[in-house]
Amino acid sequence: MPIVLARVDDRLIHGQVVIGWGRSLGLERIILVDDDVAGNDWEKDLYRMGVPDGMAVSFALTRGAPASALPEWQGSRLRSAILTGNLATMARLHDAAPRSSLQRINLRRLLSTSPVAPNWLPYGYLNHSGPALICQCFAPELRPRLSL
């Protein structure tokens, strides 16, 4: 089954993803693409504890593996969500397969670490590379689906 959710959320796995999106979309697997977590067994264990029985969690590094694994993830029978903690990682995944199920990317309120970052949207701030990365992920005919 194709990936049913591609989400950028700096909180990674948490209640909104597991309960809100997980139940409504019938998720069977969450694929977390993050270098810090994928390289730390203790953090992986923490994130595994946050998902209910019957929902698998996979961890991937941001470079190399996700691009080659994307067709496998899409071809799996498991209803899956891909989570990244930032736009740059999701943009790399999108570039690996621009006509994949990553055409619709769900964005959490994206906050810049800079207090002077422009307020691009009334409910969130993007750093200066944010708009370019969003444009990179979406063909002109596609509209991003924004959610808090």
Catalytic residue numbers read: 14
How do beta strands 106-107 and 3-8 pair? parallel
Q: Is the CB of residue 114 less than 8 Å from the CB of residue 127?
A: yes
In angstroms, the Cα distances linking 124 to 12, 109, 118 are: 17, 5, 9
Rounded CA-CA distance 110/122 in Å is 11
Rounded CA-CA distance 28/49 in Å is 15
